[in-house]
Structure 1
């Protein structure tokens, strides 16, 4: 096992509760953002959680992975669906690395040694 994700989620929630006491308005806004992020109802919970996990992977957010893996399981996401979503995240992240590599190369060229 790489990590105990169930324990990670518990620790994140406990730490979040401590932070909420220190900054209640910020946390209220964060909770509202998460609660209302599907305001028009066009996506079902399974699709939202698949997207959330793919984004969590590309942003390297372990807390997000723990939270959305739990929510995906509760929403009925299958391993096959998750594998497809994560495959898309992997392909996109490689594409982003390509795009930013081209930009870095261009920037390097613009700073031609004088």
Structure 2
């Protein structure tokens, strides 16, 4: 069912993107190659980061592609899953941390009510 939701990433779609904006496509390709080459971080680590971020951005194409690339760069299944759990915790942690906004708003409206009955 998920496969029906998103069209397959085909060479034809890639060519169409390039046809519609060739300079931008080329710039993005160069940027991507530069970002993912080994530097202060090795390529495997960069792909594990990409897997985690792909889960936060919820991009099925990125999840599939970067998981395969992480595997090719030597990441174990356990490392991939741990990266996904880190992403899950960070996303949940963001919601938890942002509760401060709601608590401040409630304090501005009802400064001394904390019994949950409104």
- Judge same fold: TM > 0.5, yes or no: yes
Alpha-carbon contact 2:47-2:69 (below 8 Å) kept: yes
91 and 22 in structure 1: CA distance in 2 versus 1, 3 angstrom threshold: same
- Over 3 Å counting, the alpha-carbon distance change for 1:105 and 1:75 in structure 2 is same
Distance in 2 between the 1:63 and 1:30 partners? 16
Contact residue 51 and residue 62 of structure 2 kept, 8 A: yes
- Pairs aligned (count): 108
Aligned to 1:61: 59
Deviation at 1:108, TM superposition (A): 6.5
Alignment partners' CA distance in 2, 1:68 and 1:12: 16
Q: CA RMSD in A?
A: 2.6
* Unmatched segments (≥5 aa) in structure 1: none
Q: Which has the higher contact order (CA 8 A, sep 6+)?
A: 1
**Using the alignment, how far apart are the partners of 1:41 and 1:32 within structure 2?**
15
CA deviation profile, 1:65-108 (whole Å, cap 9, x unmatched): 12101211211211111111111111111001112333245457
Q: Where do 5+ consecutive residues of structure 2 fail to align?
A: 110-118
Residues 1:73 and 1:94: Cα distance change in structure 2 (over 3 Å): same
**Displacement of 1:42 after TM fit?**
1.5
Alpha carbons of structure 1 residues 41 and 53: separation in structure 2 relative to 1, 3 Å: same
1:77 equivalent in alignment to 2:75: yes
Q: Which structure is larger by alpha-carbon Rg, 1 or 2?
A: 2
Residue 53 of structure 2 corresponds to residue 21 of structure 1: no
Contact 2:52 2:86 in 1 (8 A): yes
* TM-score of the two chains, using structure 1 as the length reference: 0.77
Provide the rounded CA distance (Å) in 2 between the counterparts of 1:78 and 1:3: 25
